[in-house]
Amino acid sequence: MLDFRVITTQEELTAYCQAAQKQSYLMMDTEFIRDQRRSPALGLIQLNDGQNIALVDPLNIDDLSPLWSLMEEEGLLKVLHSCSEDLEAIRAVSGKMPTPLFDTQVAANFLGEGPSLGYGFLVEKHLGVSLSKEEARTDWLARPLTDAQLKYAAADVLYLLDIFLKQKALLEEKELLDYVLAEGALITQKKSREIPLSCLYFDVKNSWQLKPRELAILRELAIWREELSREIDLTPSVIVKEHNLSLIAQRRPGNEKSLRNIPGLMSDRLHKYTKEVLACVERGKDVPPEHCPPVVSRLIEYPDYKKTLKHLKHMIQECAKALNIPETAIASKKQINQLIAYFWQLNPEVRHQEWKKPDLLHGWRYEVAGRVLEKEMTHDET
């Protein structure tokens, strides 16, 4: 029988958190609505401390500070599955991160089950339980929630405990637990990281097609879009899509008519912000030539890219064999490309910025593989 309680008062939350603080593990999940919002809107927080399952209703409790304090309790391991969006939702409301963190999806990868297994798959494979998907599209901001919705939410942390305990035992046996915990620390660190506004343009799609002057305009547009996104709580792409940012930078419109003549542009919300967009264009035009960003090159355009990618992948395979873990636990293709781009596309002055440092040069990855990969890449520079 699935036994849980719904917490809707400050007193109930405080009592649960005080009891949970005495435990060793806290299973966590969240239900939220995103839609076009920049920040996910929390509708429910599910907790399982091994003794009791609680569904915390953040819409009915004004002060969630006991829970946010629990998030940072070092003696309490927080366990989530595929936690990226959960962390965003929690941070948006509290400014906190659950630490220390154990992600069961990460653990499954270290145990050779694949890099992106869903929670339902793990539960069915290891516990023989098939989870219902009927409430997956629930509006978690609506009230009251039905019994079926509450049971669906509670199941997410009920079985998470059993999955975690099985994984923990296997990881300890293989001497891999510390790596999974270190990966949890890196995940929270990256989710807390802020990219400098002046560098946002670098990752805009099609930025590689632009000339330095156009990149100066794109830089201004990317800064404006990000600041507006934060102000009105809409995802940046809802305000204006990335490919349209590049089009504006290329066309360099000098007036509202020219801006409106760019194909497909006004399908975005830009009709409200034509003056602001044109001001961005003018600021970009006024940047002295020597201060315009350099051209953004694509990795595929480097003659040695494919050869280097293959060579680094082979080195990572050797490191993975030594640890008896899948190579995907050390690095995906995306993470290898991060490393190559770091050395090939960034000058030494930019490399010192922490937000640009690739995963392979952080923490446990650096110790098991990144150090030798770094030597290989810096050798190629000399």
Check residue 355 and give its pLDDT: 78
**Nearest by Cα to 340 from 295, 296, 302:** 302
Our CA angle for 349, 354, 356, nearest 5°, is 75
Question: Per-residue pLDDT for 382 more than 60?
Answer: no
Give the whole-angstrom CA distance, residue 162 versus residue 19: 20
* Average pLDDT score over the chain: 93
Of the listed 16, 31, 201, 327, which one is catalytic?
31
Q: Same CATH topology for 5-192 and 299-381?
A: no
CATH topology of domain 5-192: Nucleotidyltransferase; domain 5 (3.30.420)
Name the percent of the chain lying above pLDDT 90.
85
Query: Would residue 179 show up in a list of annotated catalytic residues for this protein?
Result: no
Check residue 349 and give its pLDDT: 62
Question: Per-residue pLDDT for 269 more than 90?
Answer: no
Of the listed 29, 49, 214, 359, which one is catalytic?
29
Which single residue is written with the structure tokens 């602001």?
276
DSSP letters for 73-113? -TTSEEEESS-HHHHHHHHHHHS---SSEEEHHHHHHHTTS
Query: Would residue 147 show up in a list of annotated catalytic residues for this protein?
Result: no
Of the listed 49, 57, 86, 214, which one is catalytic?
86
In one-letter notation, the amino acid at residue 92 is A
Q: 299-381, which class in CATH?
A: mainly alpha
Of the listed 16, 25, 119, 152, which one is catalytic?
152
Of the listed 103, 156, 220, 359, which one is catalytic?
156
**pTM of the shown model:** 0.93
Query: Would residue 380 show up in a list of annotated catalytic residues for this protein?
Result: no
Domains of the chain by residue range: 5-192, 197-291, 299-381
In one-letter notation, the amino acid at residue 54 is A
Name the percent of the chain lying above pLDDT 70.
97
Query: Would residue 139 show up in a list of annotated catalytic residues for this protein?
Result: no
| DSSP assigned state of 27 | E
pLDDT in tens, 32-77: 998 899 988 999 999 999 999 999 999 999 999 999 999 999 999 9
Query: Would residue 162 show up in a list of annotated catalytic residues for this protein?
Result: no
Q: 197-291, which class in CATH?
A: mainly alpha
Average pLDDT over residues 9-33: 97
pLDDT in tens, 146-180: 999 999 999 999 999 999 999 999 999 999 999 99
Query: Cβ neighbours of residue 295 under 8 Å, at least 6 residues apart?
Result: 208, 210, 211, 212, 215
- Residue 379 — pLDDT band, cuts 50, 70, 90? confident
